[in-house]
């Protein structure tokens, strides 16, 4: 369903003004003939994108990894959807609510090249992945594999199924600077036994930005009869990929991260033939065992958030995911390549271009990450987040499309000064 017929379906929403993309479209038209890698360093172009964001002047925000707040166009439309749904009330809920939700699932599915029937719109990665961890048919003694660098909420849910069902969790530790893909694949393979049922792997590790060789891990795990669940919280709408290229069984992400959709929007992908093997968290009325909606009954919820996901997709499509990915990689490479050379500075993100994109992590020998984060904010007006996890001590640096080279120069200057 295209945007026009979608809006028609929601009745009053047909009155919605088109997103104010005129400026952005004009800027994009001027660089359309160029390779995204060349546009990546075009500060004039990205300054126009910056103009779409309401930025707090109090600090330089290098902490977009928590979530990427919306550009003005998406925000305006979210408010408009809220107004319209509130105006229509239960009429909206009883007429087009589900049709629209399915249409949103279809648009999200398009980005990663899968079918709408394999996608559920959830509230976030936590909901998506914990639903799989908690919904597997576990038997006592079954094993699961994961990494120390995985996200706490999922690790906690694995601990929960350990207590509840007697699942045995096996933990690997991913090196920050792997020699090659095989080192990572072998690491995960070494934790698999004949009792292993599920392997969780990050597509992009949130604390270092390292991109893992998911397809190779999936092939290795499948050959041993193990299912793979991918934590894609930071990869979706950050790097371009297709689900068929990963071939994983389950994939969860948060749309409020790199897609810049409203807070409380996420996606769960389940490979078609696996849907019937997962128990829902909240029981749905009798649906076919292969129907994805079985896993997605959360009751009455803020449907205007779902609607604004379409606006976030339209905004991203206007910039182009390939341009956005190239810009984010360029920004990260810009500051890490300078700081890697500074004595006492430790960059915890791999240098190899295929193993990183926009996220980086940097520490200074002898300085506690939390002290470093405090100093950066108080003395230099730069907002980051301190990471103190196994093998990773430093600050996570997450610029977004609105970040300028001037802002990164301020970071380079601050870290260099603090390291001497």
Ligand X SMILES: Cc1ncc(COP(=O)(O)O)c(C=O)c1O
Given the rule CB under 6 A, which residues bind ligand X?
124-126, 151, 153, 202, 206, 231, 233-234, 254
Nearer to ligand X, 80 or 325 (CB): 325
Residue 207 CB, nearest approach to ligand X (Å): 8
Residue 373 CB, nearest approach to ligand X (Å): 16
Nearer to ligand X, 151 or 188 (CB): 151
Residue 212 CB, nearest approach to ligand X (Å): 11
Residue 151 CB, nearest approach to ligand X (Å): 3
Nearer to ligand X, 13 or 255 (CB): 255
Nearer to ligand X, 88 or 325 (CB): 325
Residue 2 CB, nearest approach to ligand X (Å): 29
Residue 313 CB, nearest approach to ligand X (Å): 18
CA angle (312, 313, 317) in 5-degree steps:
120
Residue 190 CB, nearest approach to ligand X (Å): 22
Nearer to ligand X, 123 or 293 (CB): 123
Phi then psi for 352, rounded to 5 degrees? -55, 120
Residue 59 CB, nearest approach to ligand X (Å): 20
Cα 397 from chain centroid (whole Å): 15
| 395's tokens | 């600050």
Nearer to ligand X, 199 or 414 (CB): 199
Residue 64 CB, nearest approach to ligand X (Å): 11
Biggest alpha carbon–alpha carbon distance for the chain: 65
Q: DSSP 3-state assignment of 159? A: helix
Nearer to ligand X, 126 or 419 (CB): 126
CB 220 within 8 A of CB 187: no
Residue 344 CB, nearest approach to ligand X (Å): 28
Nearer to ligand X, 45 or 67 (CB): 67
Nearer to ligand X, 104 or 364 (CB): 104
CA angle (355, 361, 363) in 5-degree steps:
140
Nearer to ligand X, 237 or 254 (CB): 254
């Amino acid at each position: 369903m295209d945007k026009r017929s979608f809006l028609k379906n929601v009745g009053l929403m047909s009155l919605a003004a088109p997103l104010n993309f005129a400026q952005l479209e004009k800027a994009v038209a001027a660089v359309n003939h160029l390779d995204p890698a060349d546009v990546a360093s075009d500060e004039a172009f990205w300054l126009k994108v910056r103009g779409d964001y309401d930025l707090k002047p109090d600090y330089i925000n290098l902490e977009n990894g928590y979530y990427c707040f919306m550009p003005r166009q998406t925000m305006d439309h979210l408010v408009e959807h809220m107004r319209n749904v509130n105006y229509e009330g239960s009429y909206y809920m009883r007429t087009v609510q589900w049709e629209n939700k399915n249409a949103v699932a279809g648009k999200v599915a398009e980005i990663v090249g899968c079918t709408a029937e394999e996608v559920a719109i959830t509230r976030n990665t936590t909901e998506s992945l914990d639903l799989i961890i908690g919904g597997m048919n576990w038997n006592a003694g079954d094993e699961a594999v994961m990494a120390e660098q995985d996200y706490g909420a999922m690790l906690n849910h694995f601990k929960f199924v350990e207590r509840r069902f007697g699942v045995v969790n096996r933990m690997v530790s991913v090196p920050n600077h792997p020699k090659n893909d095989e080192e990572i694949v072998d690491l995960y393979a070494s934790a698999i036994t004949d009792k292993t049922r599920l392997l969780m792997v990050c597509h992009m590790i949130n604390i270092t930005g390292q991109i893992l060789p998911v397809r190779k891990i999936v092939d290795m795990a499948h050959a041993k009869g193990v299912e793979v669940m991918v934590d894609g919280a930071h990869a979706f709408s950050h790097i371009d990929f297709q689900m068929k290229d990963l071939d994983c069984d389950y994939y969860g992400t948060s749309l409020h991260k790199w897609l810049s959709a409203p807070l409380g929007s996420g996606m769960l992908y389940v490979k078609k033939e696996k849907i019937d093997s997962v128990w829902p968290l909240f029981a749905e009325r009798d649906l076919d065992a292969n129907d994805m909606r079985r896993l997605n009954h959360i009751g009455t919820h803020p449907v205007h958030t779902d609607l604004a996901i379409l606006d976030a997709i339209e905004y991203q499509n206007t910039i182009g995911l390939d341009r956005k990915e190239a810009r984010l990689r360029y920004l990260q490479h810009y500051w890490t390549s300078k700081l890697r050379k500074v004595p006492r500075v430790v960059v915890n993100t791999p240098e190899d271009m295929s193993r990183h994109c926009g996220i980086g992590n940097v520490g200074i020998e002898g300085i506690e990450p939390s002290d470093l984060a405090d100093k950066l904010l108080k003395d230099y007006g730069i907002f980051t987040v301190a990471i103190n996890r196994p093998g990773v001590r430093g600050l996570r640096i997450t610029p977004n499309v609105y970040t300028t080279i001037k802002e990164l120069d301020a970071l380079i200057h601050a870290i260099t000064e603090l390291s001497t």
